[in-house]
Structure 1
Amino acid sequence: MTRVGITGHQQIPADAIPYIRQQIRITLAELRPPVEGFSSLADGADQLFARILLELGGRLHAVIPSENYESTFDDSSLAQYRKLREEASGIEQLPFEEPDEAAYDAAGRRVVENSDILLAVWDGKPARGRGGTADAVAYARAQHIRVLVIWPAGVDR
């Protein structure tokens, strides 16, 4: 079994999405089955990863950062979040009352701790707040977890 976590930007430029989707699909398809994926189901990279994982027959495990997490989604991403959450094989709800930087940081760490490989849809820049993609990547590297960065050359956020 291969356990893969996802961390990545929520706001992804439209011209980057086809490349990112293709690279996630290629990476997951090359892994030895069964593949278990760990995601917080956030808008952007997390939801792209989760949809592709499920399409390829992988098992999805949701790591929910906090109570009231749904308040962070707009209408379209909320519908996708709820659908993906229903399709998850397992759900871990972290003990935070509100979605904040501490909750996001803890969720990123839990994803890393459950993973053999971390996919990072990341432009390589520092996090814009605690618990961002760069923090999850740094934690994974400190834990000697393999990190695969997916980002198209020449694209800025």
Structure 2
Amino acid sequence: MTIIAVTGHIDLTDISVPLVREALHEALKPFADSGLTGVSCIAKGADSLFAEVVLELGGRLIVVIPSRDYRQNKVKADHAETFDRLVESADEVLVLPNEAAGRSAYEDANRALLQRADRLVAVWNGEPPTGKGGGTADAVIEAREAGLPVDVVWPDGASTGSSSAAPRTTKVSATGTAAGSSEQSNTI
């Protein structure tokens, strides 16, 4: 059984969604036959796309909700149906004891994801942390510091609403190693 957590951007552009979905499918497919379990906070964007792909591949889904008020105060109307469907489809839902959503709760959620995972898939454009904490780059750094393998998924043509970073082009082999790279972090 392989347990894979996700971190990723919430503000993927509309054109990026099918690109990222396909890249996630390709990244997760090799793990499907060995009992794939995905761990996600199911936020809009990368987290929910990852969760949907895990379920499409017949995997188990563990949902980590950062705070008690998260659904009520942070899930916008355009994501509520997807959020609720993924919660219903989950094999396990962990609601963290934080009263209110915010950076501290998101940092706690990142830690909870990483503690349960064998590896991390990061739908990440490579931009450095913002300094606020609890973001995609922060989770990647924390995973690397913990020695957790990180697979970066950022397909050609993908972008975020706030991104100026160029797409990454390193390709990952079927074994999960980046071509020409000995790094623990791979880009798909």
TM-score band (shorter)? over 0.9
Write out aligned runs for 1:71-150 (5 A): 71-128=73-130, 129-150=132-153
In structure 1, C-alpha distance between the alignment counterparts of 2:144 and 2:115, rounded to whole Å: 11
TM-score by length of 1: 0.95
Please give the per-residue CA displacement for 1:18-37, whole angstroms capped at 9, x wherever unaligned. 22111110111111420011
Count of aligned pairs: 157
Q: C-alpha displacement at 1:47, in angstroms? A: 0.4
Aligned to 1:39: 40
In structure 2, C-alpha distance between the alignment counterparts of 1:123 and 1:17, rounded to whole Å: 14
Name structure 1 gaps, 5 residues minimum: none
Aligned to 2:57: 56
Q: C-alpha displacement at 1:90, in angstroms? A: 0.6
Name structure 2 gaps, 5 residues minimum: 164-188
TM-score by length of 2: 0.80
Please give the per-residue CA displacement for 1:68-93, whole angstroms capped at 9, x wherever unaligned. 10111211211111110011101111
Aligned to 1:69: 70
In structure 1, C-alpha distance between the alignment counterparts of 2:83 and 2:58, rounded to whole Å: 18
In structure 2, C-alpha distance between the alignment counterparts of 1:57 and 1:111, rounded to whole Å: 20
Q: C-alpha displacement at 1:152, in angstroms? A: 2.6
The structure with higher relative contact order (CA 8 Å, sep 6+) is 1
Kept after mapping to 2: 8 A contact 1:40/1:65: yes
Specify whether residues 130 and 55 from structure 1 end up closer, same or farther in structure 2 by C-alpha distance, changes over 3 A only: same
Aligned to 1:14: 14
Kept after mapping to 1: 8 A contact 2:38/2:60: yes
In structure 2, C-alpha distance between the alignment counterparts of 1:153 and 1:114, rounded to whole Å: 30
Kept after mapping to 1: 8 A contact 2:121/2:150: yes
Aligned-pair identity (%): 38
In structure 1, C-alpha distance between the alignment counterparts of 2:157 and 2:61, rounded to whole Å: 31
Kept after mapping to 2: 8 A contact 1:16/1:151: no
